[in-house]
Amino acid sequence: MNWTIGFVGAGVMAETLIAGLLAEGFAPARLLASHRREDRVLELQALGIGATLDNRAAAGADVVVITVKPQTLLAVLAGLEGAIRPDALVVSIVAGARIGVLQRMTAHDRVVRAMPNLPCRIRRGMTVWCGAKGLTASDRERVGAVLGVMGKHAEVEDEGHVDRATAVNGTGPAIVAHFVKAFVEAAGYIGEPRSLARETVLETLLGTAEMIRQNEGHIAELIDEVTSPGGTTSRALQVLKNGRFSAVLTEAVDAAYQRTRELGDGLEQQAARGREGPA
């Protein structure tokens, strides 16, 4: 790979991508990242890559990855006006930022919107992404090369699925961690030692997930396999049903989805006001 990648905003996700790219053999000289704090720039330079306080310098790469917070996105993009090369590819990892807003604010057509998740830190993440119309095969190859260092990735044609992915794989690690915490506490409640509870819960979770992955049948079939009439599992599942477990989980995921839509609507409105100028 002889192309360059510039990271505008160099927080945790950018560092995760940088570490993955370096591990895959991407030359440090072809990576550049910008951050507003000088101490952070020094930390990035210690990785062997180029680092700068100037966002515009990072935006001059072949692939420009935007990893800033939604609250600062529009101001950052306004500061990049004219800095992104016409032949560059822009990849945004900003929650709620829609392709149309990114195109208008960068005056650039070749844009990709992606949503990774926390397990990307250990290269076991899941990233869902959508590209603007007109992306080339080379563009898609580069997107795959960048996102693939964090784990699995999937392209979708409907951008709305990126909003849904924000609620599912983006928010999912916190939901799963909350479930594991509650499960460990439940094990402790019935007297299982905490160290044993942690191990049994995690191994049960990982093993079950792998069984589901390998089983082409419906997940309900696995539940049926372990559920005997009048048995322990049957009684446990009845308690979950009475407590509206599935309904509450659906409501939680929907709340995250609605918040993602709100962020997108807010950015749309701010971008529109910015383009209109002061009254």
pLDDT score recorded for residue 272: 86
Residue 131 is inside which H or E element, if any?
strand 125-131
Cα angle value 252/253/258 (rounded, 5°) = 100
Confidence class for position 216, pLDDT limits 50, 70, 90: confident
pLDDT score recorded for residue 278: 38
Closest CA to 9 of 72, 62, 63: 72
pLDDT score recorded for residue 53: 95
Number of H helices, E strands in the chain: 12, 8
Going by the DSSP 8-state scheme, the letter that residue 61 receives in this structure is S
Closest CA to 104 of 78, 135, 143, 67: 78
The DSSP line for 153-219 is EEE-SSTHHHHHHIIIIITHHHHHHHHHHHHHHHHHHTT--HHHHHHHHHHHHHHHHHHHHH--S-H
CA R_g for the chain: 22
User: What is the spatial distance between Cα 56 and Cα 53, in angstroms, rounded to a whole number?
Assistant: 9
Taking residues 76-88, report their average pLDDT.
Answer: 93
Taking residues 170-195, report their average pLDDT.
Answer: 97
Confidence class for position 101, pLDDT limits 50, 70, 90: very high
| pLDDT greater at residue 107 or residue 276 | 107
Confidence class for position 275, pLDDT limits 50, 70, 90: low
Q: What percent of the chain has pLDDT over 90?
A: 89
Distance from chain centroid for Cα 85: 26
**What's the chain's average pLDDT?**
93
Domains of the chain in start order, with CATH, are 5-158 (3.40.50.720), 172-255 (1.10.3730.10)
**Lookup: tokens for 250:** 């659906």
Taking residues 239-268, report their average pLDDT.
Answer: 96
Confidence class for position 253, pLDDT limits 50, 70, 90: very high
Confidence class for position 154, pLDDT limits 50, 70, 90: very high
pLDDT at 168 over 60: yes
User: What is the spatial distance between Cα 266 and Cα 279, in angstroms, rounded to a whole number?
Assistant: 19
**Lookup: tokens for 82:** 């004219």
Taking residues 104-126, report their average pLDDT.
Answer: 94
